[in-house]
């Protein structure tokens, strides 16, 4: 007999098919059969938190009209949010050089921004080009709770090892009292970064256009058709001669002949007149 804290972990093939179909329709990411254990593990805590005795009843609830809000939580739970400060550092040197040569102000987009480390790294880089530089950094992610954490702007102190002592001193504040064990961007720098919930397959026109787009370590989760669809949608928000920076293992050239390779994983957008 199950105790109040135990949840039957059985996930039927029908429930997994529904979860896979729902998640792919919402995010464009396909969950194959070898992801069943991952899905089961990530949803157990949600089932437990809502008082369900089994994954079967939890999925049934999520599929019902009463579970519409829980569907957002499922997307949050099943989306991978791996990130770090100055990940793939060569891209930030590219950004530094680009920013020093372009008309101002600059707009830079951190797509699939997760909890905000990439957007913060972009802001630090631009501030180092010129303290008076006019710029805006926009981070977007599909998961509302992840975006909320990015907006809070508090990073675990253990992540500070990813930054040089000089960057920590110049750009960050250490948390005190209730924020002990965390750090954040200096207020003046944080004010130039904003975060929005956005689906890469349903980008709002209000997002505007950017000089540089970081689209890194997200395309690997899509099949070829959806990957090309995302790249084309993102290019609608990139200014002519702007830069697209995908992950080093990600293909974008087959999505548009208007992307010109200028370095490893660095592309300039040159649309035809």
Q: Looking at the annotation, which residues are catalytic?
A: 42, 141
Three-state SS at 8: strand
Containing H/E element for 69?
Answer: helix 68-78
The backbone torsions φ and ψ at residue 187, rounded to the nearest 5 degrees and listed phi first, read -50, -40
80 CB-contact burial (10 Å; exposed 0-12 / middle 13-18 / buried 19+)? middle
CB 215 within 8 A of CB 91: no
The DSSP bridge partners found for residue 266 are 263
Spatial distance between the Cα atoms of 264 and 225, rounded to a whole number of angstroms: 23
* Distance (Å, whole) CA 173 – CA 182: 9
The rounded distance, in Å, linking the Cα atoms of 201 and 50 is 30
Q: What letter would DSSP give residue 54?
A: B
Q: Beta strands 182-185 and 155-156: pairing type?
A: antiparallel
């Amino acid at each position: 007999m199950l105790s109040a804290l135990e949840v039957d972990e059985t996930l039927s093939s029908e429930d997994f098919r529904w979860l896979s179909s729902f998640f792919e329709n919402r995010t464009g990411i396909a969950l194959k059969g070898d992801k069943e254990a991952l899905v089961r593990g990530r949803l157990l805590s949600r089932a437990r938190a809502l008082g369900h005795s089994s994954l079967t009843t939890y999925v049934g609830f999520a599929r019902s009209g009463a579970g519409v809000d829980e569907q957002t939580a499922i997307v949050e739970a099943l989306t991978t949010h791996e990130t770090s400060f100055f990940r793939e550092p060569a891209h930030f040197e590219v950004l530094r050089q680009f920013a020093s040569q372009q008309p101002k102000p600059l707009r830079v987009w951190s797509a699939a921004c997760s909890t905000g480390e990439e957007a913060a790294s972009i802001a630090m880089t631009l501030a180092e080009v010129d303290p008076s530089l006019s710029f805006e950094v926009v981070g977007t992610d599909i998961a509302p709770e992840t975006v909320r954490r990015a907006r809070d702007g508090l990073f675990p102190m253990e992540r500070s090892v990813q930054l040089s002592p000089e960057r920590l001193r110049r750009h960050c504040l250490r948390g005190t009292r209730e924020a002990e064990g965390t750090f954040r961007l200096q207020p003046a720098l944080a004010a130039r970064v904003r975060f929005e919930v956005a689906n890469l397959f349903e980008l709002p026109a209000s997002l505007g256009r950017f000089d540089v787009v970081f689209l890194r370590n997200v395309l690997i989760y899509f099949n070829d058709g959806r990957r090309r669809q995302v790249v084309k949608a993102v290019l609608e928000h990139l200014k002519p001669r702007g830069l697209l920076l995908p992950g080093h293992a990600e293909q974008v050239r087959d999505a548009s002949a208007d992307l010109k390779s200028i370095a490893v994983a660095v592309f300039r957008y040159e649309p035809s007149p």
